[in-house]
Amino acid sequence: MAVALALDMSVPAAGQPAKMKVLLDTDIGTDIDDAWALGYALKSPSFVLLGVTISDGDTAARARLACKLLDRLGRTDVPVSIGRATPAVPPNRVDYQFAWAEDFRAYSPIATPAVEFLYDVIRRNPHEVTLVAVGPLQNIGDLVRAHPDVVPLVKRVVLMGGSIGGNAFSPSAVAEWNVKLAIPEAQAVYAAPWPVTIVPLDATTYVRLEDQERDSLKKAATPLVIALETLLRLWTDRPSSRMTLHDQLALAEAQEPGRFFGRCEPLPLRVDAEGFTRVDARTGRLVTVCLEPKRNEFMAHFLGQLSVR
């Protein structure tokens, strides 16, 4: 029933433009940007969120976190589907965001596994779904390998991932987290014949939430803002911690293509055996790469969208 309700929401009212149908694949619960990205997606006036799929590590625990956030916002019409569990990396890391939802049972994930849920929703909405993945790519890679027939039916794929050159964290390219934790799956996703856009570290590392912006947002005091502020406090491990808005920038690119970047250009990319995203004119496949973030314009948009009641 939850899936049917989510799909029914995509029908626009008379005289209004159709909203964008979106599936969000996330590893919510490790870095804080995933939870804030889910809240941002839910507040988008142009999205219909058809579902949330959970990737990487303890996917059941991550799903409870997503379910509680949806419940707090009265959005239990959005189904949550669990992907396959994988070994935790690092194995002994404590993610305190999970404590916020460890006893939560008021809204539960659906029984359908993530890959089959993605396959079903895309088949029901051919050429209409934008697939946004902001975590390691186990679910999306498994979808490509298990159901290659669905690849031509996806309207667009937007990934937070990759590292092409230097960024605010490193003077040279690195094996980016979402790629290196699922290298074979990332290779399948990047090589598949569908339109892929990435928002890499080259762009995202330059956009952080500053204290004055956080203080301004807290004044909204909406259920969403209260929940996100709670999770941010659980994530913060030292006074100097600041959220980098990796995943939110990928959703912003899905929502308004090109608006928040100085350059979005096609580059021939491949994922190598070590998880690096290589520019390779000979064997790479053309992928649109978003660079030069328009930080202030994006932050004004992002904070405004989150604070709407």
Report DSSP state, residue 45: T
Residue 10: pLDDT band (50, 70, 90) is: very low
Domains held by the chain: number:
1
Q: How many CB atoms lie within 10 A of CB 8?
A: 10
pLDDT in tens, 221-279: 999 999 999 999 999 988 889 999 999 999 999 999 999 999 999 999 999 999 999 99
Looking at residue 285, which CATH number applies to its domain?
A: 3.90.245.10
| Rama region for 292: left / alpha / beta (φ>0; ψ in -120 to 50; rest) | left
Both structure tokens of 16: 């209004």
- Residue 65: per-residue pLDDT: 98
Residue 16: pLDDT band (50, 70, 90) is: low
Domain that residue 28 falls in = 2-307
pLDDT of 22 > 50? The answer is: yes
Both structure tokens of 25: 């694949």
Q: What is the dihedral of CA 185, 26, 113, 4, to 10 degrees?
A: -130
Length of the chain: 309
Question: Dmax over Cα atoms in the chain, in whole Å?
Answer: 53
Cα four-point dihedral sign 229, 232, 234, 237: negative
CA 37, 39, 43 angle in degrees (round to 5)? 115
Residue 14: pLDDT band (50, 70, 90) is: low
Name the pTM for this structure.
Answer: 0.94
